[in-house]
Amino acid sequence: MEFKIAVLPGDGIGPEISEQGVAVMTAVCEKFGHKVTYDYAICGADAIDKVGDPFPEETFHTCLHADAVLFSAVGDPKYDNDPTAKVRPEQGLLAMRKKLGLYANIRPVETFDCLIHKSPLKDELVRGADFICIRELTGGMYFGEKYQDNDKAYDTNFYSRPEIERILRIGYEYARRRHKHLTVIDKANILASSRLWRQIAKEMAPQYPDVLTDFMYVDNASMRMLQEPRFFDVMVTENTFGDILTDEGSCITGSMGLLPSASTGDHTPVFEPIHGSWPQAKGQDIANPLAQILSVAMLFEYFGLEAEGRLIRKAVSASLDANVRTPEIQVEGGAKYGTKEVGAWIVRFIESSNDISN
């Protein structure tokens, strides 16, 4: 297979982890006989500094004409700490989602046995937790009509039937491939938009008789994720709720540096770690590259290349078991490994592996 990958390193630690993601993808392609080319493009604060736009038109076209986008992170304190800034790095991320029609964000939450001790939850609660949160990505308050003056402000939480149906359909498809349990998360006791979500989900449920469909208010879901994370298989929800719940879910594993994500929709899919740009660590070679590397695994799996994704996951697990880890997840007294060393170890594991079976 031939891949044309748009690479958007972005800001902060983005370029450092991006380098490791590209190295792993290259190693896997060589191992399995795929061809890959990379087109690099700017975004975020880096793009604002260079051209005044966090998602320039040239970057958009690079993404549009690629098979997939390997994205890293955006964000910079000089914009975070300036409430008057009219252009912000995060606007580039929203623009990318909107222009590429990326309406579905898929975030797996999976624990690693060797890192259970890093989780803030008790072992008996978190061990074995394995679920996916599917977040609607281009509707709701983030994209609805807005207004602000000195005395009042509002954000419009708008959703249409087609937007809700298409994201629910993806939720059901994932549930069918997993443990056949879909939880629709809303606030239907208060919000009209949530009542429409629940109405449509109830209409669609009979089309998937093999899937157990249940409903949960978002406040209850946020508690249930901490009290009983193993309850969930696939959850689906609207944009704002999903943004909050997925960050909460990331804490279950003990490190945000372990979780990848995919954003899919009308055009080129985007694969990215869920963590931010961590500008304080920029250039220090301490950033955990595993979420970026696992995003590459999701990329291969998106194209039906399960063996390639499985080999990456095997390599990541092996690195953790061998205590080849960046500082924030290293065991007490363990050797110090930097971003580049962890990436290089995983590449060597892939290169030396004989496991290329489908």
pLDDT tens digit at each of 358 positions of the chain? 999 999 999 999 999 999 999 999 999 999 999 999 999 999 999 999 999 999 999 999 999 999 999 999 998 888 876 666 778 888 888 899 989 999 999 999 888 877 787 788 888 888 888 899 999 998 999 888 999 989 999 999 999 999 999 999 999 999 999 999 999 999 999 999 999 999 999 999 999 999 999 999 999 999 999 999 999 999 999 999 998 998 888 778 777 778 899 999 999 999 999 888 988 999 999 999 999 999 999 999 999 999 999 999 999 999 999 999 998 888 888 888 999 999 999 999 999 998 765 5
Residue 199 lies in a domain: yes
Show which of 219, 235, 256 is a domain's final residue: 256
Do 251 and 213 share a structural domain?
Answer: yes
* Pair (118, 91) in one structural domain: no
Residue 239 and residue 122 share a domain:
yes
User: Domain for residue 263, yes or no?
Assistant: no
Q: How many residues does the chain have?
A: 358
Residues 131 and 237 in one domain: yes
> Does 114 share its domain with 238?
yes
Report the pLDDT value the prediction gives residue 83, as an integer from 0 to 100: 66
53 and 125 share one domain: no
Per the structure, the count of domains in the chain is 2
User: Do 93 and 43 reside in the same domain of the chain?
Assistant: yes
**296-324 burial string, b = 16+ CB within 10 Å, else e?**
bbbbbbbeebeebbbbbbbbbeebbeeeb
Closest CA to 19 of 322, 338, 314: 338
Could you tell me if residue 149 is inside a domain? yes
- C-alpha count within 13 angstroms, C-beta hemisphere, residue 222: 12
277 and 325, same domain (yes or no)? yes
**Active site residues per annotation:** 142, 187, 219, 243, 247
Is 262 contained in some domain? Answer: no
CATH number for the domain spanning 135: value is 3.40.718.10
Residue 105 in any domain: the answer is no
Give the domain extent around 114.
110-256
* Chosen domain end from 206, 224, 256: 256
Q: Record the pTM.
A: 0.88
Q: Is residue 276 part of a domain?
A: yes
Query: Is the same domain home to 121 and 249?
Result: yes
What radius of gyration, in Å, describes the C-alpha atoms of the chain? 20
Residue 261 lies in a domain: no
Residue 36 lies in a domain: yes
Q: Are residues 353 and 223 in the same domain?
A: no
Task: Say whether both 115 and 252 belong to one domain.
Answer: yes
Q: In whole angstroms, how far apart are CA 325 and each of 14, 109, 298, 346?
A: 18, 19, 21, 11
Last residue of a domain, one of 189, 221, 256: 256
Identify whether residues 96 and 1 lie together within a single domain: yes
